[in-house]
Structure formats: structure tokens, C-alpha cells
Structure 1
Amino acid sequence: MVPILLVLLLALILFGAGFAVDLLWWIALVVLVVWLLGFLLRGTNAAGTRGRWYRW
């Protein structure tokens, strides 16, 4: 009985980790798209030129 429970627990942990990794890939893709849109659609400053694309 204990080995079956350990296998089921391991399967549950691996399924959870796989779901989390898949979710992180989707979040990374959304962040990349938002960053690229911000890079491409940034506004101009008072002089009419585009400013720096980074914030630091």
C-alpha cells in the first residue's frame, strides 16, 4: 500500500511541476509580447525624437 501511495504522490508532484512550468512559459510569452509592443510603440519626447527604450 505504501509504494502505491508513494508512486501516486510522485505522479501528483510531477504533474504539478509540469503544469507550473507550462504556465511559466505562457507568462513569459505574454511578457515578451508586451515588452515588444512597448518597444515598437513607444512615444516621442518634446524634441520629436524617440527616447531611450529602457528605463534604467
Structure 2
Amino acid sequence: MTGSRIKITGQFKPCVHMGCFELEAFVELNQRSRWWQCPTCLKNYSLDNIIIDPS
């Protein structure tokens, strides 16, 4: 998303793919949105579905 290294990996709970994203950058870029779009599969989810990826 930003081209920098991932510090905190984020993912949406319902997503079944292996892709993750830089959580801080994602939240900063999308903080005014009501629905949040997964940058990997492009599905829309609510903010409640974002998790810190444990892997």
C-alpha cells in the first residue's frame, strides 16, 4: 500500500486468502470510511472485522 515495510500486519477476519496489509497505514488511509475494503480481495467489511494477523 505505502511501499514501506509492514510493522503490524492486519487482516479481515472473514477473508480466506493469505494476504495481509500494514495495519497502521491502512487505518490512516481509510479512517473516514464507513466501510473498509480489503486491499487483497477488494471485499467490503466493517471496522469490527479487522484483526492483527498473528502469523
Calculate the TM-score normalised by the size of structure 1.
0.22
Larger radius of gyration: 1
Calculate the TM-score normalised by the size of structure 2.
0.22
Q: Which has the higher contact order (CA 8 A, sep 6+)?
A: 2
